[in-house]
Amino acid sequence: MKRQVNIIGQSPLVIQLKQLALQVAETDMPVLIVGETGSGKEVLARFIHAHSRRAANSFIPVNCGAIPAGILESELFGHEKGAFTGAVQSRKGYFESADKGSIFLDEIGEMPLETQVKFLRVLESGEFQRVGSSETVYSDARIIAATNRNMYQAVAEKNFREDLFYRLRSVELQIPPLRERGRDILLLAENFVHEFRQKHKIAFEGFSPEATEILMRYPWPGNVRELRNLIESLLVLEKGKLISPEILEKHLVQRNRYKSLVHDPAKSEKHELHVIYSSILQLRQEVGEIRQMLQHLIHNPYQPQYQPQLLLPGSPEIFIPVAGEQEHPSPEAHPEKRVEGQIEQEGLQSLDEMEKKVIAQALESCGGSRRKAARALGITERTLYRKIKSYGLKDPGPAGNG
């Protein structure tokens, strides 16, 4: 049965991308797809193939970055029996298998220079030789390549052949990152929920309106792949219950905590701001839990729900009576005052100051643009405007909203 391929989305960027892809599909020109990791490059390649005259023939995906350099040439062009140790029989390569169909070369920027020479010949004439053979083989395969690398930089650094690059990008299609696709995020989330529910036969109560807003303002550094993984994790780990903001933030915080550990200092300041803001989100969640515990202790100091002591990070021990103890605090030792003093001492209220500084830094870094600052922080522009007013920051106004 023929596989149905569609690009989900109604944002202007995606509509334009689909229109270009349909135009390209009518030709046999090589295509270079450029986009961030997880943005859906293979889906776009399959879409092009499915709407071309080659749709009834093979679509062969090849991840050039996942195949060791020593055997990539054999995988692409095939080899003859005895061509190298372990070659016990002749074998077709991916180009021969994709004859009359399409071959999708993902992570093309990882292809070794020596392999690029043979690939350029295939691109220009469709001809190549198997490893260990002098006989010319021809393949009529449509070539679609993809990369998340800056290919101009790769060419400048002599890691990718300039002639191959310009021959390859006869048509270049740019996939927008998920954070720029607006309500496509919700369309994709709905589709992933439907697919997962159908496949695993599980119930799901959905997302609360507040959780939906968080989905919209999260910057999705892992793009569509990250959204799919999050949806699947939520449905399994939360057992199909309604996803509240607290549940969603918990999962996002866990993901961002991992990302901050592997963060590359060379990445953009925009990502740095997102990590800082995510850390504030995590702190607010933890502080909220501590405050709830303290409030319970103020009003129910003798209930046996807690351990005999609660330690705040770096703070002295707070004594909590245990059930059965009849000691009563002296009049001057009011629990409310001890708790308030503890919060003051630990500087928990400084979270607002931290957030204020991050927002001010984002506005300055983005040249006073509210829209760019909101994107960098992973929040909506309306939320940013409200926080600017709340903290008494200078509002850049419409002129600084580009």
How does pLDDT run across 230-262, given as a tens digit for each residue?
999 999 999 889 999 999 999 988 766 545 433
Q: Would you mind telling me the total number of residues written for the chain in this entry?
A: 402
Cβ(172)–Cβ(32) below 8 Å: yes
What pLDDT, in 10s, does the model give residues 164-187? 999 998 899 999 999 999 999 999
Q: Hey, what amino acid is at 211?
A: A
pLDDT at 83: 78
CA distances to 31, 152, 338, 378 from 211, rounded to whole Å, are: 38, 40, 35, 14
Amino acid symbol at 207: F
What is the rounded CA–CA span in Å between residue 256 and residue 315?
27
- At a CB cut-off of 8 Å and minimum separation 6, what does 135 contact? 129
Tens of pLDDT along the chain (402 residues) come to: 455 788 999 999 999 999 999 999 999 999 999 999 999 999 999 999 999 999 999 999 999 999 998 899 999 999 888 878 777 788 899 999 999 999 999 999 999 999 999 999 999 999 999 998 889 999 999 999 999 999 999 999 999 999 999 999 889 999 999 999 999 999 999 999 999 999 988 889 999 999 999 999 999 999 999 999 999 999 999 988 999 999 999 998 876 654 543 344 444 455 555 556 655 655 665 565 566 666 666 666 555 443 333 333 333 333 333 333 444 444 444 444 444 454 445 444 456 777 788 888 888 877 788 887 777 776 777 778 888 888 888 877 644 545
| Alpha carbons within 13 A on the beta-carbon side of 178 | 28
CATH architecture of 12-176: 3-Layer(aba) Sandwich (3.40)
CA distance 143 to 60: 10
How distant, in Å, are the alpha carbons of 29, 284, 355, 378, 393 from that of 388? 50, 19, 11, 15, 5
Return the DSSP state at 207. B
CB 220 within 8 A of CB 179: yes
Q: Which two tokens stand for residue 237?
A: 């780990």
Q: Reduced to 3 DSSP states, what percent helix, strand and coil does the chain have, rounded to the nearest 5?
A: 50, 10, 40
Residue 30 and residue 5: Cα distance in Å, rounded? Answer: 20
Domain ranges of the chain: 12-176, 179-261, 266-322+332-402
Calculate the CA 346 to chain-centre distance: 35
Instruction: Tell whether domain 179-261 is in CATH 3.40.50.720.
Output: no
The answer to whether residues 397 and 388 touch, using CB atoms and an 8 Å cutoff, is: no
179-261 and 12-176 share a CATH fold: no
pTM above 0.85, yes or no: no
